[in-house]
Amino acid sequence: MSYGEPGGKPRVATKPSPDEEIAAIEKLGGGFELDENKAGVGMHLPSRITDAGLAQMKGVTKLKNIHHLSMTDTKVTKAAVDRLHKVLNKNEGGCFIVHYQQQEVA
């Protein structure tokens, strides 16, 4: 059991609000395109995002509405993009992903 408070109180994980989810993506340098209901329809992820960072986003509720996703100059692998595409393609109308991977410099 994990204890986060002095005195032995257990740490309770809370689900972030949609505004907190947006703030977390923006803090990384990414952004959302929102519709009139503040539902994400487009998302840009920052260049420093990695496969691990992408995996952490699995629970982001805004992903349910994403119809286009841009990841340029990232360290995300094709395998991770393929896994994400399977999730996002379940959205009504599917999802278009633009992904340019960073090139290793010799």
Q: pLDDT for 23-32, tens place per residue?
A: 777 887 888 8
The confidence score (pLDDT) of residue 12 equals: 58
The confidence score (pLDDT) of residue 4 equals: 44
**Short-list 62, 74, 90, CA closest to 28:** 74
- Tell me 63's DSSP state: G
For residues 98 and 15, give the distance between their C-alpha atoms in angstroms, rounded to a whole number: 28
Tell me the average pLDDT across 97-102.
79
Residue 9 has pLDDT above 70, yes or no: no
Beta carbons within 8 Å of 47's beta carbon, 6+ residues apart: 29, 72, 73, 74, 75, 102
The confidence score (pLDDT) of residue 104 equals: 60
The confidence score (pLDDT) of residue 55 equals: 77
